[in-house]
Amino acid sequence: MTNLDQNSATIDAPHFSEGWLSCRLDSGMFSDEVAVTYPATGEWQKSVFVPSEHVRNFALNATGEVRVRLFERDGKRFAVLPTSYRDLVLIDAADLRS
């Protein structure tokens, strides 16, 4: 157990909001999951499997959307993907949908 004193540094917890992130959607390994790749085109950043209930506008090998939690840190916007590891991606605000 660690004791913290008054001189300990504190880290501000991010404020989260929710949104839909435009990404590429493909079939997952199982019927209840979808492969999500962000960004949808161009330079590859991250590809993960998410439960199918977290996606909308799903069409094979096409652009769709995944529900994410959003936060900003040091002027950059990040999305937390709905994976078991809560993968993070640096995002472009233009890829957010309502």
Question: Is the model's pLDDT at 3 over the cut of 80?
Answer: no
Round to whole Å and give the CA distance between 82 and 56.
13
Q: Can you give the pLDDT at residue 6?
A: 52
Residues 51-66 have a mean pLDDT of 90
DSSP character string of 32-61: TEEEEEESSSSS--EEEEEEGGGEES--TT
Q: How far apart are the first and last CA of the chain?
A: 44
Q: Can you give the pLDDT at residue 41?
A: 79
Question: Is the model's pLDDT at 5 over the cut of 90?
Answer: no
Short-list 61, 69, 64, 52, CA closest to 16: 69
Q: Can you give the pLDDT at residue 40?
A: 80
Q: Can you give the pLDDT at residue 62?
A: 85
Q: What band does 75 get if pLDDT is binned at 50, 70 and 90?
A: very high
Neighbours of 30 (CB within 10 A): 10
Residues 3-27 have a mean pLDDT of 76
Are the beta carbons of 38 and 83 closer than 8 angstroms?
no
Q: Can you give the pLDDT at residue 10?
A: 53
| Angle made by CA atoms 52, 58, 81, in degrees to the nearest 5 | 50
